[in-house]
Amino acid sequence: MTSKIAVLFVHGVEIKDPHYADNAIKLLRAEYARACRGAQAAELEIEAAFWIPVVEPGLDKIVRASFGPGFTGWTRRLDDLVHRINNNSYLAMLPLVVSGLLGRVPGLSKAHWPTLRWAVTYFLGDVIAYQIAEGSDVNYEAIHARLDEALAALAQRAPDAPLCVIAHSLGTVIASDYFYDLQNSARKKSKKSAPASSAAVQRGETLTWFYTLGSPIALWMVRYPKFDAPIKLPGRTRSAAARKAAQWVNFHDPDDIIAYPLRTLNAHYADAVDSDQAVSVGPLILGNTPVSHVAYLNSRKVMRPIAQRLAMLSRPTK
């Protein structure tokens, strides 16, 4: 059995809380302990990459210039609701949804439909900011550098451990791009943020599990029509046990309008992705709406099968 398993979380759009994964980590640890059935098992070493500070200042500047300081206060209140949702408070979903129905708010005369404006500005803004612009990949590289930092922290504690990546929303695109760059020599040479460490986990050589939650990766097929080079899981080749445990599962709630299946895109993704797992996440009523997009990380329906798969490699062989 392996002595340690490294886990990397990668968040999606509009996450201004560095502790966004705290509840998900707690849930994963609990489900992992249950899956290991009390046996001595590999220790989970977990890091949460936090990349939003790269793009947040630019977006804040835009809303201040366009709608004044009052709108900044409104976004802070909405960010607080998102923070509470990240920490498993489904009750916070209700005021967030209700605020989206408000076309006018006192004190915000310049920002009609302020919550929808917030959603478009920060959600779409994150996506636009991440794209490589002609002659500049500053944001792209800076965001990937945040993943470098998280992997470097994991490398300190588990340099050669099998790696599990759990990514949500735009984070699935970022993680996929990041490991694609590590796995392809042309991008390796141009990647300014390439890790200098010799640790296998930081070089992506131990990537064994990839879990994409609410992923819009399919939309990038519009930009790259061939779309014939999904990332690989090099950790599969490290042992017979790893080959059996390794997997790429794409979790998608059918009510989540941002999430798409991946295996149906083409033969390359059908071969790379082990399963498109339809799952219902979120609370009653709201879980049956597009709001389900924010609920994957707090769902046992997602964390339990991930934990069970990690336990396959962790439990001692009989």
Q: Is 83 exposed, middle or buried (0-12, 13-18, 19+ CB in 10 A)?
A: middle
Asked if the model's pLDDT at residue 316 lies above 80, the reply is no
Average pLDDT over residues 213-234: 92
pLDDT at 187: 54
The predicted-structure confidence for 175-217, as pLDDT tens digits, reads as follows 999 999 999 965 554 555 445 557 999 999 999 999 999 999 9
Average pLDDT over residues 274-285: 93
Residue 274 is classified by DSSP as S
Quick one: tokens of 114?
């302020």
- Please provide the DSSP assignment of 168-201 as one string: ETHHHHHHHHHHHHHH-HHHHHH-TT------TT
pLDDT at 44: 96
The predicted-structure confidence for 8-54, as pLDDT tens digits, reads as follows 999 998 778 899 999 999 999 999 999 998 777 899 999 999 999 99
Q: How far is CA 12 from the centre of its chain?
A: 5
The predicted-structure confidence for 75-93, as pLDDT tens digits, reads as follows 888 888 888 888 888 788 8
pLDDT at 134: 64
Quick one: tokens of 245?
């445990």
Question: Is 249 within 8 Å of 305 (Cβ atoms)?
Answer: yes
Chain length of the chain: 318
Quick one: tokens of 189?
């040479």
Average pLDDT over residues 282-297: 88
Q: How far is CA 64 from CA 61, 98, 220, in A?
A: 5, 24, 31
Average pLDDT over residues 226-233: 92
Separation CA 298–CA 166 (nearest Å): 12
Q: For the chain, give the mean pLDDT.
A: 88
Q: Look up the CATH number of domain 4-314.
A: 3.40.50.1820
- Please provide the DSSP assignment of 83-148 as one string: HHHHTT-GGGHHHHHHHTT-S--TT-TT-SSHHHHHHIIIIIHHHHHHSPBTTB-HHHHHHHHHHH
Q: What are phi and psi of 280, to 5 degrees?
A: -95, 115
pLDDT at 191: 54
* Residue 24 or 122, more confident: 24
Separation CA 310–CA 306 (nearest Å): 6
pLDDT at 300: 96
Provide the 10 A C-beta neighbour count for residue 158: 26
Separation CA 10–CA 48 (nearest Å): 6
pLDDT at 185: 66
pTM of the predicted structure, to 2 decimals: 0.91
Average pLDDT over residues 152-175: 96
Separation CA 288–CA 283 (nearest Å): 8
Question: Is 201 within 8 Å of 158 (Cβ atoms)?
Answer: yes
pLDDT at 189: 46
- Going from N- to C-terminal start, the domains of the chain cover 4-314
pLDDT at 257: 94
